[in-house]
Structure 1
Amino acid sequence: MKDGSRRNVWLRHGAIALAYALGYVLLRQVSWSHWVLFSGYRLAVLLLVPYRYWPALVVGELGPVAYVSFSCIETFGWVWSSLMLVPPIALAMPVVRACRDRLNMIPARGPVRMGAVLICTLAVSALWTFMNMAALSVAKAPSGFPPINYSVEAARWFIGNYLGILTLVPLVLMVWEGRAKRAASWRMGLERALRGRLAIEVAAFVVPALALLVWIGLEASGEGSRQVARMLMFLPVVWLALRHGWHGAAIGGTVASVAVVLTMPELYDTSTLQAEVFVAFAATSMLLFGSRIAVLHQQKGQGSELAGRSLDLARRIQAQCEAQLRQTSVGIELISETIHATEELMFERLRQTRVTVDPREFRRRTTVTREQLFQLADGLNPVTLREHGLVAALRRGGIARALNTQRIGYWCAARGGIDQLSSPVQLALHRLVSEAITYLCSIHSVGDLTVRLRSGRHAGRRWAVVRIDALFSADPGLRVRGGPLLHRLAATGLGIDAIRDRAALYEGTVKVHASAHGECISAMVYDDEARSKEWAVPVDSTTPELFSFR
């Protein structure tokens, strides 16, 4: 009986070692220094496999690394071969165990602690990069081999390990966390997940958008256009994180990292490495932002001091996200100016070579293209708001243009020193108005809209009230149904609950009530000017830089 039980234990360990080695070998075939996908597989296994099976994982990885070590011993020398015999998974085990035990990274009950996961990710990425650099420093270089730039190689390995982990680990943890919420059968749970809003949005919007950006990156003639297409790939990560928390950021980060890798023109491409740094930074920020929002919901009702600190952190993270959107908006404006200059040069050459050609149709099409680029930039971060303030942005910005194209009457009235509000609060009010208008126009046929703003000061704090009055119409042609306004106003379209959540970041409340001939949404927020300056993030500070190692 004991022999049979012992035999079953050895069989389980052997099966785990064999399965891990097989997955390691398969993922190694699609990994390189820019994108070390098997690093994510290695860490995901360490996070979820019980400690008693860890020796089997070491044995499973020892086989592939020993094969590489002995097959290249004559090329790189016995010192390099000796270092390569050390399984990297064994070096990461103390770090992962410390994070699992001391930081309670993956609790048995409750949500995954994404902050601890990212700390563990940074630690093991640095550890594995150091190990690779140590082996590279003692490798015997072949004759005629060019000098090695260790800073560049270290940056490649670190970003490759980090992005490879971000590609797999959050996705695996999302599936693991949702196992208790699903039905008894995995088949029913999978069907429910595929029918959920997150899966539908990824399939209907995110994947096509990234496929278009990949096509632009592959077909672009200039490196600048290709780099812009790669930088724009982080936008789906932001959009999914704002709609679905860190679960959306996990899926968006995975798809965006795959899309960036698909645009690599060659194995060691510096521009691709820069885009990967940007995507990794965006994915990290969105994972933190999404997990923090979930923590805020759980900690609601606890001590006011703890809630206040958490709220400040959420505001700072939101300010970082808005700064990223602003940076992208400015980049799109610069691209629009470049396109306009190119068009003028093209028309001038066309007039010189073909005098009889009528350029009016070309100008109409190029004007439409520039208008679409402006709408995209204005939706991400309103241009008029940056230059002239909230009142001017609401009166003649993107909201007014969008409603005018839908034949909806619109007016904005303000009093009480709205321009004295801090920039983050003005931007938050603009987002609230965009969400409220999108919500009202998607559920009713709206004929006229009026936005009223009022601000004042009480007990040393400035407050602001915004009220959106919708006058319903009997004309069914005015029913927008949300789609066009969602794209033009960069609204999430999540309804009144999303409006309340956004107002709650500034200790605000939202009320919805029926009026004589329509519906009214009012929101009140508070502005702490001292803290608002701390939340603001300069655009330059959000620009990622390559890691340098000395």
Structure 2
Amino acid sequence: MHCAYRVEQTPPGLALDQRQSDRNDTEEWMRMERWKDARQLSFRIYPYGLAIALIYALAYWAAREASVDQFFLPAGIRIAALLICPYRYWLYLLFGEYCYFAYARYPMVEKYGMEWVVLGSALLMPAVMLIVHLHRKLMSSETDIWLISVAAASTAAVTSLNLGLSHVLWSTPPVTALDAKLTRFLVGDFIGILTIAPLALLWSKRHTDSAVTKGHVLPTSACLILMIMLGVLAHLIPADSPATKTDLLLLMALPAVALTCMHGWRGAAISVPLWSLIVRLTMPSTGVAESFDPAAFSVQQNLAVVGIALLAVGSCLSYYYRRYRSTDQDGRNAISLARNTHIAAEMDLRTRALDIRKLGDGLEHSLDDLSDWLDAQGHQDLASSLRRVSAVHSRKFREQVTMVYPTSLEHVGLYLALQTGGIHEAWKDTDRLMLHRLGGDPCQLSIGLQLATYRTIAEAVSLLLQHEPGQIHISARCGRFRRDRGILVAVALLDTRRHLSDGTMTLALERLTGRTLAYGGTVQCRRNRIRILLLEPRPDAETAQHFRFPVHCAATHTR
């Protein structure tokens, strides 16, 4: 029995229409979801941001009350706030400025018109924000000279907007001539920025290294006191002597330059604002923004030029000083690593020398037991011969061990270690070397420095024995050099008329410089001698701790 099942198929055209309908429904649903999300967007308001807006508005109001056209502190407040606050709080700064302008300029609507009040208040902060934002990449550079560019661009933008909008939107144009107004606004805004912005940037970098060296505390205090005294004298000058007052204010450039030379950009960031504030305090004012003091304005023009120069020079000084410190620190780290490497190598040799000595002691003890057994068995001649051979080889074995590591140096010091042990016997066998004029106390030096000196002397003597004929003598002197301690060694040919060959000098520099650099020293090859200097900042604080036993060393003075 056969059963047939019939499958009905959907026509191709109908299936295509159905898929298109499903796709349209999906797109419509996605659009609805995006529309819902857009409607549900909310802006979070931070109380800390509102506090910033309030503080900024109050600071702007206070700065405006203490300012005149030729000394406009709000321009500096605006730049300082943008430099200190991160991006997420810029909207709150904008809100704070708008609140101040709403309070200060709303009564001016009838006199100057709503267009000027709105546009003149709304465009200033966004323009400065754009300028600061464009300089953000430069702010991460190693120099702070970009602050001058920010100050100049902000001054030009704000002054152009203020004067342009006032001449276009005011029903009655300003009475003051455009060129005079432009000069006052440019100088006033720029001086205001130089007064506040460097201090804000200095505060933002307060966590960086800004320690004042002990040698600069007194000169720095003297410069600051001198600037304040000159300001007080200028304030006491009568109004009928403007030339004397101007001269006193200009003399403040000298301590400002001195502070910049001592502290770089930080000195300029303190001296320039202090100079500007003192000029403002000595400026007579009627309390009206349009009040003008020609003598102070002349000083302000010089202050603007000198301030730019000081900030630029101070920035360059700080940059190169940081580079010098970085390079110097890298050099110190390299020297410390090299020194630790040499000490680790010496410790390894010391361990090996002690192991070899233990092995030699064991062999010597075994030979002694064998000689005693032979003596007990009646072989006295054989036992005596074995003892003599054992004593000779034991002495040579110990001399070779001291060539690996001079353990006697840890107890009797460098000079006696050079006069005993295997190295002394090796030099004695050549019949070409003698020690001469060993002065000072080497035990005041660290063990690491004495070991480096020991190896360096051995290498220098080996070079002269191999490549130069004639007698050789060694002289050394331990002592202090400024804040360091060290030793000066001279390995020379006894014949002063004979000079070292060029090949010997080259080999000496190549083989001996490594150890001397690890201890801040030098190698010099002159005429018939090799001079070696090794130094260390502290006698035993750093290197003695690498050894596991106390060091007992007697002072030696050998002539």
TM-score by structure 2 length? 0.46
TM-score by structure 1 length? 0.47
Structure label with greater radius of gyration:
2
